[in-house]
Amino acid sequence: MNTQRTIWPHPQKASAVQVIDQRFLPHQLVVMDLHTVAQVYEAIQKMVVRGAPLIGATAAYGVFFACQEAAQAPEPEAHFAQSLAHLRESRPTAVNLFWAIDQQVKNLENAVSWPEKATLAWQGAARIVEEDVAICRQIGLHGLPLLEKIAAQKPGAPVQVLTHCNAGRLGCIEWGTATAPLYLAHQNGLPLHVWVDETRPRNQGASLTAWELQQAGIPHTVIVDNTGGHLMQHRQVDICIVGTDRTTRTGDVANKIGTYLKALAAYDNQVPFYVALPSTTIDWQISEGLREIPIETRSADEVRYITGWDESTQALHTVRLTPPQSPALNYGFDVTPARLITGLITERGLCPASEAGLLQLYPEQALASVND
């Protein structure tokens, strides 16, 4: 079973795809078949798949299934519209979900028959997948020299990287964003060691990033989120690379809660702090991250309860961590101001975390500002 990607055409069944059921990671590698709209809805809604690019790609295949199902329905047009509306509700705040569905709808505009639409939708989904792979690989190629430069300064010793959350291939299709330079460096034989923040409360680091790196054979160590500052004080981190959910025009970055604390520690200890991002995460309309980026509040039960692997029953098991009467609060993200960020790694290259820096790489956005 090739699980190099997170979504792929089913090797036996013609009109189906397979995904890794990420709910069981890092404890079990479970592969799920998707061949109906209902299954795609469930996979997105129940977080079988997660991460903006992967949600988008999965939804794009959902549009393909919607074409197939419409073809069998008494009122194909109505059925199709209903399917898309349903898919849109699977994760109501996932921008890539809407984007991918819209792309696909545009893509089908000129097709007449439902079989023709289905063919175009399948091709369109594959294109969305390949585009993400290419963008992540470009991020990797642009980030790689940062690691090579550090390696040259400490021959024989591993380059020590710290990352937070999972900006890895599991949220994308392949390569990931913050992890892309790591995978390329490892392929090139660069000695590496990655400090993996566990990333409470959902533990994406301890479960997903650790699993990814383990699968790839990249040396790594899981640490609690409290540890990074101490490591940086003692020069055990050469570079931090993290992802981002949303980036302002001026280079402020909203990423998983706790990113700001690591950026502060990096700044205090002169450790370079980089953010890897596809330019699709840049919101060119906003320039003050702390004021303008709304921060999602998630369920307090993600703090109060934790799910792990019960070694005695060989199954996932949930336990409570807090007193039953103690409330908890769960912000999903925080904002790291551009002043703490050494640079951004985009698919077009590196730049300083500033409006001038970003506009040098994306000059077409200068006009957007003037037009506002």
Q: Which residues bind a copy of itself (CB under 8 A)?
A: 26-27, 196, 198-201, 203, 206-207, 210-211, 213-214, 220-230, 233-234, 256-258, 260-262, 264-265, 268, 290, 295, 303-311, 317, 319-323, 325-331, 333-335
**Residue 286: strand pairing partners:** none
CA atoms within 13 A on the CB side of 327: 1
Q: Which is nearer to a copy of itself, 280 or 330 (CB)?
A: 330
Q: Which is nearer to a copy of itself, 67 or 165 (CB)?
A: 165
Cα angle value 242/170/176 (rounded, 5°): 45
Tokens of 86: 């349903």
User: What stretches of 35-185 adopt beta strand conformation (E)?
Assistant: 159-163
Q: Give the Cα separation of 335 and 258 in Å (integer).
A: 9
Parallel, antiparallel or unpaired: strands 17-20 and 31-34: antiparallel
Q: Give the Cα separation of 242 and 196 in Å (integer).
A: 11
Q: Which is nearer to a copy of itself, 29 or 152 (CB)?
A: 29
**Given 197, 225, 245, 334, which residue is catalytic?**
245
Residue indicated by tokens 């299709």? 173
Check if 245 is active-site.
yes
Q: Which is nearer to a copy of itself, 113 or 322 (CB)?
A: 322
- Minimal distance in Å, beta carbon 238 to a copy of itself? 16
- Minimal distance in Å, beta carbon 353 to a copy of itself? 16
The sign of the torsion formed by the CA atoms of 115, 120, 124, 126 equals positive
344 SS3 class: strand
Q: Which is nearer to a copy of itself, 8 or 309 (CB)?
A: 309
- Minimal distance in Å, beta carbon 182 to a copy of itself? 15
- Minimal distance in Å, beta carbon 304 to a copy of itself? 7
The answer to whether 293 and 287 have CB atoms below 8 angstroms apart is: no
Q: Give the Cα separation of 267 and 253 in Å (integer).
A: 15
Query: Which residues have a catalytic role annotated?
Result: 245
